[in-house]
Chain A
Amino acid sequence: AQKITQTQPGMFVQEKEAVTLDCTYDTSDPSYGLFWYKQPSSGEMIFLIYQGSYDQQNATEGRYSLNFQKARKSANLVISASQLGDSAMYFCAMREGLNTGNQFYFGTGTSLTVIP
């Protein structure tokens, strides 16, 4: 089974609107971390937000928030007030266990296009 599933290959959003990028995960480990990365056309992976499996609150970082629904095993990324510079590929990732040296599992990504 896929560890990380992103079902939206492409999304469009109007500038200044909010958009939700979906991510579901699969693990039997009670300890895990969930990550979102942005990859612009330059290729670099830019860390956006992190959610630990034991975190009680949804993570927020500026315009990014993570809608963490543990029972549903979903970790959707919400981008508020979209900007043209938000156009990029977005990857959801998971690391199982507490060891920060454990590998990341990446989803297939969602290509977001912000329309002026």
Chain B
Amino acid sequence: GAVVSQHPSRVICKSGTSVKIECRSLDFQATTMFWYRQFPKKSLMLMATSNEGSKATYEQGVEKDKFLINHASLTLSTLTVTSAHPEDSSFYICSARGGETDRSYEQYFGPGTRLTVT
């Protein structure tokens, strides 16, 4: 099946710094990628939808100046958490819309990035 990777898998950063999370589709071209945030023992909350070559569409309540999303190519989307604060600590998961496969109805999820802001 299609593979989506995320890097890093875990990151610890100091309050006030920025951190970048990469999401890559390894064996297909992903015109659309999604970024989710998940708090412990909670559901996935969609943060934004990212289309290659255009600005991301953010969900209500998500600060686009704080969570910068760049989808520069068909295989890479990045999420940058700017001026991170402890409340930004969370599990961030990306997913990519499947390409022309038998299971094009699927979204393929990355393994997630656990961000801890100290």
**Residues of chain A whose beta carbon lies under 8 Å from any beta carbon of chain B:** 33, 35, 37, 42-45, 47, 50, 52, 89, 91, 95, 100-101, 103-104, 106-109, 111
Q: How far is the CA of A54 from the CA of B49 in the complex (A)?
A: 26
Query: Which B14-54 residues have a C-beta within 8 angstroms of A?
Result: 31-32, 34, 41-44, 46, 49, 51
16 extra A-B contacts, CB within 8 A, seeds A35-B106, A43-B93, A45-B95: A43-B111, A44-B111, A44-B112, A47-B106, A50-B106, A101-B31, A101-B49, A101-B97, A103-B34, A103-B49, A104-B44, A104-B46, A104-B95, A106-B44, A108-B42, A109-B42
Partner of A42, one of B31, B97, B111: B111
Interface residues of B in 79-118 (CB under 8 A from A): 91, 93, 95, 97-98, 103-112, 114
Contacts of B44 in A (CB 8 A): 45, 91, 104, 106
Residue of A nearest to B51 (CB): A101
Q: How far is the CA of A70 from the CA of B117 in the complex (A)?
A: 44
A45 touches B97 (CB 8 A): no
Q: Are B43 and A100 in contact (CB under 8 A)?
A: no
Q: Is the pair A43, B105 in contact by a Cβ cutoff of 8 Å?
A: no
